[in-house]
Structure 1
Amino acid sequence: MTTLAVTGHMDLTEESVPLVRSALRDLLEPYREDLTGVSCIAAGADTLFAEEVTAIGGRLVVVIPSEDYRETKVKPAHAAVFDHLIEAAMDVVTMPHETASRGAYEAANSELLTRADRLVAVWDGTPPSGKGGGTADTVEEARAAGLPVDVVWPGGAARRT
């Protein structure tokens, strides 16, 4: 069994979504027979990854950063997909934080890495912002722990400005 975790940008442009989805599908295909995907299922890259894992029959583990995450951070446009992925998950782990915060996100990202054999990073290569808990921070944490990182950023992909 291979367990892949994901980190990635939430602010993909609409034109980038099919490009990233296709790149994720290609990356996941070799693991099809025995795949577990671990995701926080935030809008953007996390959700695209989770959808592709379930589409090929993989098992999904969802890590929720805080007890109030669904109520305070999931926007109405993302709620139906979020709820569907929760239903599809074989396991849902909620971090022991009452409120969504930088610490909750950092804890959730650490949990992803603890569970993973590899990290998939939908990442444009931008360095860490210094705030902690972002995509670049998670990539750095994975690399420091010796976890292999597969960067997915297909040609033409972009972030909203």
Structure 2
Amino acid sequence: MIAVVGHTDLTEDAHGVVRAALRTRLAQAPAGTGALVRAGRGLPQVYGRAAREAGRPLTVVLPAEGAVPAPLPAADRAAAGELLLLAEQVRLLPYDPAVRDTVVAADERLVGAARTLLAVWDGSPSDGSDATAHLVAYARARSVPVEVVWPAGAARSGRAERAPGVRRGRPAAGPVGRRPGTYGPGGRDLRP
């Protein structure tokens, strides 16, 4: 499978050029190669559409509470609905979509399940709201091939899109979280 991660603050104008670049890359993959994405608005939606256009089976990952899907933030629900219509498979993963740390941990699981990672990334470092650089380093440390996708015309709005109610930090309880000692104050990645 080919997973995607990337900036959550792509401009609306960038969606078209990023979608075309992702579609081209997916079309070049060996026959039968699937696409893997965590449900949400923005880049996941763009990737889902690109996968459909490239004729790739799409697997969408939804948050779970136990054995049932967990509610997504309101801002992600319509996009998740579209992704579910595009998907050939849906997988549940225990994480709290309202807690940034568990979302990053879920993305790490996607990276670990991928044969290749497409990173829609401008090369900027991770900060308290964007973990793209961390996920690229995570993939490379695990020998997952990474292809950076940043076509001409791609741009960021300069603000990460955090859904209302999304908070940083550890969940009150739950099976998925960050590994101790990996992150410092403010969510900074402390890995070399």
1:41 Cα offset (Å): 3.0
1:142 aligned partner: 139
TM-score normalised over the length of structure 1: 0.84
TM-score with structure 2 setting the length: 0.71
Q: Distance in 2 between matches of 1:8 and 1:53?
A: 16
**Quick one: distance in 2 between partners of 1:15 and 1:69?**
32
Aligned residue type for 1:136: A
Q: Which amino acid aligns with 2:78?
A: A
Confirm whether residue 158 of structure 1 aligns to residue 155 of structure 2: yes
Deviates more, 1:111-120 or 1:32-41: 32-41
Measured in 2, the distance between the counterparts of 1:56 and 1:114 equals 23
**Cross-structure match for 1:112:** 110
Match of 1:5 among 3, 6, 9: 3
Native 8 Å contact 1:39 1:112 kept in 2: yes
Counterpart amino acid of 2:119? A
Larger radius of gyration: 2
Which deviations, in whole Å up to 9, do the C-alpha atoms of 1:38-79 show, x marking residues without a partner?
A: 10132222221111112222111112245498745241xx53
In 2, distance between residues paired with 1:97 and 1:127? 24
- Residue 48 of structure 1 corresponds to 46
Conserved in 2, the CA contact under 8 Å of 1:32 and 1:58?
A: no
RMSD: 2.4
State, as a whole percentage, how many aligned pairs show the same letter.
35
Instruction: Report 1 or 2 for greater relative contact order, CA contacts < 8 Å, sequence distance ≥ 6.
Output: 1
Which structure 2 residue ranges, 5 or more long, are not aligned?
159-192
Aligned residue in 1 for 2:167: none
Structure in which a larger fraction of residues adopt helix: 1
Contact kept in structure 1, 2:26 and 2:56, CA below 8 Å: no
Deviations 1:66-98 (A, max 9, x none): 5498745241xx533320211332322222235
Number of residue pairs matched by the alignment = 156
Distance 1:111 1:90 in 2: 19
